[in-house]
Homo-oligomer: A and B are copies of this chain.
Amino acid sequence: MEFTSAHRLDDGVLEREFTLGEIPGTLWTPQTPGSSPAPLILMAHNNGLPKSDARLKGRARYCAAAGYAVASIDAAGCGDRPRSAADDRARAEMRRAVQAGEPVDDIFESVVGPLVAKAAPDWLTTLDALLALPELGEPGGPGGPAELGVPVGYSGWTALGIRLAATEPRIKAAGLFAGGFVPRAQRDEARQVTIPLLLLLQWDDEGNPRDRALDLFDAFGSEEKTLHANLGGHTGTPWFEAEDGTRFFDRHLKPAGAADSTI
């Protein structure tokens, strides 16, 4: 992992670009190191948006300012990474079909299924490299006791989050963002996800049918899962959900989480 730029934001967050082989990424770290390493959030987005997108950066910076190390990458086939002309055509066709209200299951499967399968290894490679950084590893640096390892959360792209949460035990909590429409493999894998979840749903999401999001929420194997639904379309998630997401991670990734009780 090679850092290629670094600058300090107004709120003290350190924003660094990095490359890891072919993977370009950004790491945000909070200003004030605590007595233990900041928990790490893997913040992923698909949907053709690059990791440099202003809204994604806004979410990452907010989360870092709240005391988290936050990493975002353009995984294989995502963001600014090279895509074949055939991939571009398939994505354009999928968007057209969604907008026209046509059935999109088959084309969605052909586009997003392989995208998740190719993106997941890049994220795991990145996770390995991040946890090997002295400032993100165990207290005292590499070689510290494993039970003091940095807590890891996942935030963003639902289908990839399911894949990672179902297969990677270092991920302890996941916030899944405005997507109920996932490939078949992830619909099956949802039952194997058992970590605490916060699933965001936009009630009138033009690309993610409401019923599928509700079915997906029902399918997760987690004992603690929360659904937040808000009015509006895919990009209409209100700002307070960023605050709620941080509080969700606070409960599960920071030592002094709230007690497990009911109102």
Binding site for B on A (CB under 8 A): 55, 58-59, 203, 214, 217-218, 222-232, 235-244, 247, 251, 258-263
Secondary structure of the A contact surface, majority rule: mixed
Complexed CA–CA distance, A235 and B243 (Å)? 26
Report which of B58, B218, B223 forms a contact with A263, defined as CB distance below 8 A: B58
B247 contacts A261, C-beta separation under 8 Å:
no
Complexed CA–CA distance, A241 and B225 (Å)? 13
| A226 in contact with B224 given A214-B214, A263-B58 (CB within 8 Å) | no
6 shortest A-B CB distances, which residue pairs? A227-B229, A239-B261, A237-B263, A242-B263, A226-B230, A225-B231
Report which of B229, B238, B239, B247 forms a contact with A240, defined as CB distance below 8 A: B247
Complexed CA–CA distance, A146 and B241 (Å)? 33
B225 contacts A228, C-beta separation under 8 Å:
no
Q: A55-B262, A203-B218, A239-B259 are in contact. List 6 more A-B contacts (CB 8 A).
A: A235-B262, A237-B262, A239-B261, A240-B247, A240-B251, A244-B247
